[in-house]
Structure 1
């Protein structure tokens, strides 16, 4: 006989939820190399079949004024289950007029107890350029010396420091941006992590693309930038994070790499051709990292890489932040379940 009124579980203090705010996470010191290693570990666990990363759920009204995502995953390396939510409102408005909220809730899959709930903005701000850095490390030509970042928003500001963390041999650093405050922020972040390096702000995008071995497009949807495939030099790697690349860069690419082919087909529809289709992906980043897939074909191949977030990387980095925060006594305990 099924018990329709089961005894509720004990809701002791050990089940209290540790809530970590934006300010709690802002002061945590973590190196860029630590972030890259944490993200890479998440991809390797996924490639080994130890983790689960189902396709994200998306809700978007017909007029496109907002978008919401829900992502569930399990990091088998850390034995952590988590749910991430993301909601952005005002997509037709200027960036400063938009509203954006994202959270990550972590559970320990060994003890069955909650770990923490946190604002996920900083996690995403670090995770995404770390992924671009891994793509650059694995997919750019070994002799790459020049990099161009398009966009000066959240992702553009840390793109160069992460690229240099993964490819310290890069010599020429270029930036295309249209917002003076954003350009200044990019310079400040580069100086913070690499005080001896300088970025060259370019106005002729086409000429800059021709000189770059790595192009990282992080711009917002209103950017005037739209790099065409024939602008890219032979052997160039173009990485799409936000906007700034024209559809020809993927449709005419010699080799296509994605963090997830399934997610690219869901979130990369703005790069589809007139028939609404995207070309097949040649390799996924987790496989590239463990050597079961190629990051590029020939030396002169133009490689297109699609950087879409996988929740397992948010879980790994979020868990790392939770550990550091709890060690420092940060956050507030909430008795949500009692």
Structure 2
């Protein structure tokens, strides 16, 4: 079917699962999105959030434009059952792309795989920009969706890491972390630790990806001088933010929307010293002294979803994947 302004290519979970993409391709795509944003060529407005008073669900809506790819997109995210165990939660996220040159719709897709790749790629970029010189040891807290690819992406941007530690309690998640590491870096091993705080004392880079029910809560005093602590989900105590020598965020505005659980007793969050796009553009350095303890907050920016989603849409079109739906007829 020829594409026109009445049809939309829909890419399902299974369509996207069949696409191979190198970790370096993901990192490069995400980094380009940040650089384009830093250059003022893209638009990434603050996300909208809806959450009922009892906190049983949360939903987000994000609109953005990638100036390098000339693509406009809308991402929606909805999670239900926040107080339930992971297997009882419902989570749906979609991305709809439009070509801002032709004016035609490009694709609507399940955004779960994009998020599962984009988020650890961003953590890896934060680690590359923030890690102290000579960093060799990494600790990942959590074995869920974001924890499973954290180590392969860290090795992509910090290839000199030689000790890899994992704090997790779910056997299936632990097995998945090991499988992903072996798939991308055959022969590399991960050390399972039972005490995240003790392990953090040895880590140059700590990436906290755990869910909200994790017992792990590494405090600031457990981080050695020069350590970088990256928060994606849970696993770090608020002190790691409030007592950090430097605070880096993908977006300060987004941190103030989604990082309220890290606020102090007065409900306040400290100011951000630098945002990641500026660091990647070379405008400023994330780390200004070797001994600084740096806290980095990884929250999603829709421009990175747009860039990676567009890359997947290109790969899918090349392989004739997806279903053309006459949505507007």
- Relative to the length of structure 1, the TM-score reads 0.96
* Cα distance in 2, alignment partners of residues 50 and 138 from structure 1: 22
Given candidates 266, 290, 296, the residue that maps to 2:287 is 296
Match of 1:220 in 2: 211
Given candidates 9, 16, 21, the residue that maps to 1:18 is 9
Match of 2:145 in 1: 154
Q: How big is the shift at 1:108?
A: 0.1
Given candidates 79, 86, 92, the residue that maps to 2:83 is 92
Match of 1:5 in 2: none
Helix, strand or coil at the partner of 1:157: coil
Match of 1:60 in 2: 51
Q: How big is the shift at 1:294?
A: 1.9
Contact 1:236 1:302 in 2 (8 A): yes
- Relative to the length of structure 2, the TM-score reads 0.99
Instruction: Within 5 Å, give how 1:1-338 maps onto structure 2.
Output: 13-338=4-329
Write out per-residue CA displacement over residues 189-231 of structure 1, whole angstroms, 9 at most, x where no aligned residue: 0000001100000012222101100000000000000000000
Which moved further from structure 2: 134-143 or 152-161?
Answer: 134-143
Q: Given the superposition, is the C-alpha separation of residues 169 and 99 from structure 1 closer, same or farther in structure 2, using an over 3 Å criterion?
A: same
Aligned length: 328
* Cα distance in 2, alignment partners of residues 94 and 300 from structure 1: 39
Helix, strand or coil at the partner of 1:211: coil
Contact 1:235 1:301 in 2 (8 A): yes
* Cα distance in 1, alignment partners of residues 263 and 221 from structure 2: 18
Contact 1:175 1:201 in 2 (8 A): yes
* Cα distance in 2, alignment partners of residues 203 and 67 from structure 1: 31
* Cα distance in 1, alignment partners of residues 90 and 265 from structure 2: 32
Q: How big is the shift at 1:13?
A: 3.8
| Bigger radius of gyration | 1
Q: Which runs of 4+ in 1 moved over 3 A?
A: 11-15
Q: How big is the shift at 1:14?
A: 4.9
- CA-atom RMSD in angstroms: 1.0
Q: How big is the shift at 1:12?
A: 7.5
Write out per-residue CA displacement over residues 291-314 of structure 1, whole angstroms, 9 at most, x where no aligned residue: 112211211000000000000000
Which moved further from structure 2: 70-79 or 290-299?
Answer: 290-299
Helix, strand or coil at the partner of 1:323: helix
Match of 1:3 in 2: none
* Cα distance in 2, alignment partners of residues 290 and 314 from structure 1: 19
Contact 2:4 2:104 in 1 (8 A): no
Contact 1:13 1:335 in 2 (8 A): no
Q: How big is the shift at 1:183?
A: 0.5
Instruction: Mark the runs of 5 or more structure 1 residues left unpaired by the alignment.
Output: 1-10
Q: Given the superposition, is the C-alpha separation of residues 208 and 331 from structure 1 closer, same or farther in structure 2, using an over 3 Å criterion?
A: same
Instruction: Mark the runs of 5 or more structure 2 residues left unpaired by the alignment.
Output: none
